[in-house]
Structure 1
Amino acid sequence: MVRSILFTVLPALLASKLSVAAPIVGSRSDDNSAATTAVSNATVTSDFLQPALFSRVAYCSSSAVQSFQCGAPCQALGNVSVLQVGGNDGTVPMYFIAHDPSTNSIVVAHQGTDPNNLLSILNDAEFGLVDLNTTRFTAASGKSIQVHQGFQDTFERTADGVLAGVQSGLASTGATNVLVTGHSLGAAVATLDAMLLTENLDPSISMTTSVFGLPRVGNQAWADFVDSSLGTTLSHITNQNDPVPTVPPEFLGFVQPSQEFHITGVDSTGQATGIVACPGQDNENCSTGNSILDVSIANHLGPYFDDISFGGAACPA
């Protein structure tokens, strides 16, 4: 499994770190080395724990999620009602929509890349930038926004179902909050979902987007669009020397949005020993500054904190 991820990610990572080609249009114009600040354990628990638990469950089988009988990962979330399950674990990675009464939220959680499934890996391998679909994102019209072709294609396969499911869930439960989450490929699709929902839901609905191991989704204009639309309601959490947040590479024109939170260390019990907030886009003191000599594919899967990891092994049900 790890070898499959390695062959998918490492060539692009090497190109990103070693290329001496001139920057192309849409790439970040200058380095960001702004100082980071420590994040408290209380913030991790209040802001990141529940999204991580939902993202972990997204790796369970569709049937286990539908019945919410997936063992410890489901039990950790308590009294949650699953409203909708979609996807085929291939070209359409599994997602689910649930009501979390503890926060009065509708939650959308997307499954990430399964390295044992070639179709999922091919979604990630389509590195080309293409124009963002401004029919769906009308606020993006005229802004020269481009995104990763594979991520947009994957998003398009579930976008209508997700939007309709969230709208239905809000109406049927009276929820006033929406949380969007996911890991890896699921983080990329979740970010696109969050932008779609922000444009289409009533402004009175509180939106939160918390994702893990987010690859770069689009160009500078995309990163700016995310920053202006989601602002501090977005958190993308990266883990130590995980290379995935640094691909696709910057020299191809890809840029991460702001609001990265970087885990600097995890102890033998799976507890984070340090988490920092990383100002600006592609902060060199966080994932973007990782050395090619210290790449750890295992860090992509976890643990991140509270002994939470992602992938099929983390939710075998």
Structure 2
Amino acid sequence: MFALLTVLALFSSTLSAPILGLSPGTENASATGTTTSLALANVESSLKRPAQFARVAFCSSASISNWTCGPPCTALGNVTFLQSGGDQGLIPLYYIAHDPTDNSIVVAHEGTDTANILSILNDVELGLVDLNVTRFPSSAGKGIQVHSGFQQTFERTADGLLAGVSKGLSDTGAKKVAVSGHSLGAAVATMTGAFLKQSVDPSVDVSLAVFGLPRGGNQAWADFLDSTVGVTYMTNQQDPIPTVPPRSLGFQHPSGEIHSFDQSQNNFTSCPGQDNEHCSTGNSVLEVNATNHDGPYFDDITFGRTRSGCT
């Protein structure tokens, strides 16, 4: 883990020098906008359950399908597994579940498995390519380009995932879809969220909350996410992954960042605008801490095959 993240951080340094129900706190003016402090209770109310679902995606497919993955599954309570896909390698795992707490269909994507070289290869295909407009009809003519590896990973499971979500909505009567993921899973989740927003009935609310999000496309892609599904994403301290791929290669973050500044797990700030330089974008490359990528983010929630607590 450390080696991969350090390489990505060094690569970045050589090339470049909507919030879901969160209540505002103290506002501080800055040159590029404002940052707003957030209480832990506000963060928990909107992000705790998405984080817990994203954590489960690192567990084995068999344990998820039986909902016997240990503490990550237990923490979520009475959840019904519906479908999974992927091979936890070239095709990272995703799963679909029904959450009775708010009668929603949940989609969670597995993040990078650093023990599997095929999973890592999805991350390092850095080129920008045109977005597949057949899956995103309203994106036509907008000049949208996305990370090649992320789009390829998304395409491998998009059809089966949409079929599973559509069936889940029909079977349960749910009117909400919540999409989450961490790292590579976060990047793929942004594509899934935008795809589902364009594909399911307009009466269905699609929300997107992710963690440790790398940049996934160009300015037009960031604008498209902002105007369609909206993203809430949490970044943690000096994690280098949200700063790659670098902006100098044409990549841009969407709006919606929440940043954790220290190890207290109690000091959070909302970061208006895209790539707010007072949050993760402004991190110094001299202070990179790769372990921040896995966490903990808050409430001792960590991610990764070895750190999620899966059994």
Q: TM-score, normalised by structure 2?
A: 0.93
Deviation at 1:43, TM superposition (A): 1.5
Distance (whole Å) between structure 2 residues aligned to residue 103 and residue 15 of structure 1: 46
Q: Deviations over 1:10-67 (max 9, x none)?
A: 232222334xxxxxxxxxxxx9721200112221121000000000000000001010
In structure 1, list runs of 5 or more residues that go unmatched.
Answer: 19-30
Q: Tell me if the contact between 1:5 and 1:115 (Cα under 8 Å) persists in the aligned partners.
A: no
Number of matched pairs: 298
Task: Report whether the alignment pairs 1:245 with 2:228.
Answer: no
Corresponding letter in the other structure for 2:69: C
RMSD: 1.3
- 1:278-293 equivalences under 5 Å are 278-293=271-286
Give the equivalent residue in structure 1 for 2:288.
295
Corresponding letter in the other structure for 1:310: F
- 1:1-317 equivalences under 5 Å are 1-7=1-7, 9-18=8-17, 33-231=32-230, 234-267=231-264, 272-313=265-306, 314-317=308-311
Distance (whole Å) between structure 1 residues aligned to residue 221 and residue 135 of structure 2: 14
Corresponding letter in the other structure for 2:243: T
Distance (whole Å) between structure 1 residues aligned to residue 15 and residue 284 of structure 2: 11
Q: 1:32 to 1:211 in 2, by over 3 A?
A: farther
Distance (whole Å) between structure 2 residues aligned to residue 82 and residue 16 of structure 1: 43
Distance (whole Å) between structure 1 residues aligned to residue 79 and residue 183 of structure 2: 23
Give the equivalent residue in structure 1 for 2:21.
none
Distance (whole Å) between structure 1 residues aligned to residue 100 and residue 112 of structure 2: 29
Which structure has greater helix proportion? 1
Distance (whole Å) between structure 2 residues aligned to residue 265 and residue 16 of structure 1: 27
Q: Match of 2:207, SS?
A: strand
Distance (whole Å) between structure 2 residues aligned to residue 214 and residue 103 of structure 1: 25
Distance (whole Å) between structure 1 residues aligned to residue 248 and residue 2 of structure 2: 25
Q: Deviations over 1:114-146 (max 9, x none)?
A: 111111111100000000000111111000100
Distance (whole Å) between structure 1 residues aligned to residue 40 and residue 5 of structure 2: 30
Q: Match of 1:227, SS?
A: helix
Distance (whole Å) between structure 1 residues aligned to residue 98 and residue 13 of structure 2: 42
Q: Match of 2:33, SS?
A: coil
Deviation at 1:316, TM superposition (A): 3.4
- Moved runs in structure 1, 4+ residues, more than 4 A? none
Distance (whole Å) between structure 2 residues aligned to residue 63 and residue 35 of structure 1: 45
Give the equivalent residue in structure 1 for 2:22.
none
Deviation at 1:105, TM superposition (A): 0.5
Q: Percent identity?
A: 55
